[in-house]
Chains A and B, each alone.
Chain A
């Protein structure tokens, strides 16, 4: 069992970090700040257009990189984490199926729109309970760790969710991109702890940038959502839920956060060697173990590449429909981040 645990941890340890990345901590932080500045400028200038281009280009690839990263973090043998992963994968599967079936049930007139907030509230409650359960299970895996405080926080979140389920879901839309920055923080802590203070100082710049964006865009006129696609984008950013807030500000903020999210998964983590050589499965414990599944993992990654190509084709053929389907199905990757982030804490 101990051997299995060590195998999963081994992938954290970089052999020659400087040689593999070729950048210093200062250069890395500088890149993050520069990327954030460019993203904020583009998102503020042309929010709808940049949203369309960003999702088209990066939505699929970022999911592929994320899936590959999670495979690297998956231990070859679950050992004492078996129950944790059973609950994690069951939750991801069931919650994703439930989430996908919600609009399907609505459009098939199984229930009226009046019950929609209740359905959303039930789903959000189940998600919070699932994450709370995972946190408690993770806490039990380490001695001297008391995470009992998770319970009151989880129940308080459930309470807020029932007060306004749609706003709670909107909060998830805005908070989720920031989770990528947390992943990057945890990864640096384990592999390049000397970079961590510089990275965290660079992160302090983000709230300032966000505050500047909100200040500049709060009085702007609403975006012209006069076609179906633009309307979808403004709705996704919460324009209908927050009618008194400028839709320009909402879409720009959301696009900015999404760009940071994509940037971390596609550029920052691979840059520091977190994803390993993307064409090789040797850095993936499940594939590299003597009793692992190298062919299955390789097939999964190749299928993922085809899914990215299919997504690009779908965006080219019918952008609006593909975007809707993508953001519904993509809930799976949002949920998957919870257990893997917990494994890193």
Chain B
């Protein structure tokens, strides 16, 4: 009995110390939550006195809806990954496609229809490439559209590109982050 009590006390003390130890670990930093993917135009105005942020009614409505939904509709690839219901349906149909494809190949093999099998593999490869394009958002990276921003601002021209609207905890001012890549000029590293 005494041994049991001592053992229990030791385990409780150990668990308590563990809780204390874990309680000392710093909270993870809050990550920005992507709400909406939209378009952004940056331009300069020599007559204006204040920086202005102009939002269309439709974008504001979409922003409201995205905020109400919580996780919004972010980028396309994120939408695909975060929609579990649709991913399950896609998986179900892919299962059916592979199953029936296997049956078809087995039937075709009996007839030695190699051309048809080759065609099927080609179609599967095209689907694969198509899927990669979908996941890659089917276009060049977004930063390319912003590369001419400094020059366009000097020339008072517009620059357009995509923008992901994110919400972060806290009460800081709004921040616009433009993806710029350093362009190496001749003679520079």
Contacts and interface: CB of A to CB of B under 8 A. Distances in A.
Contact of A163 (B69, B101, B131, B142): B131
Nearest to A241: B76
A2 to B, nearest CB: 30
Contacts of A153: 97, 123
Interface string A144-177: 0010110111111011111111010000000000
A152 B121 CA distance: 12
Interface string A204-232: 00000000000000100110000000000
A242 B38 CA distance: 10
A14 B146 CA distance: 58
A149 B116 contact: yes
Interface in B140-188: 140-142, 145, 160-162
Given A222-B39, A244-B162, A163 B87 contact: yes
B100 A155 contact: yes
B76 A164 contact: yes
A55 interface: no
B45 interface: no
Interface stretch (A64-72, A83-91, A110-118, A283-291): A110-118
A163 B104 contact: no
Interface in A224-266: 241-245
Given A146-B107, A154-B97, A161-B93, 13 more contacts: A152-B120, A153-B123, A155-B94, A158-B93, A162-B86, A162-B87, A164-B80, A165-B86, A222-B160, A242-B138, A243-B162, A244-B138, A244-B140
Interface of B: 37-39, 65, 69, 76, 79-80, 83, 85-87, 89-94, 96-98, 100-101, 103-104, 107-108, 116, 120, 123-124, 127, 130-131, 134, 137-142, 145, 160-162
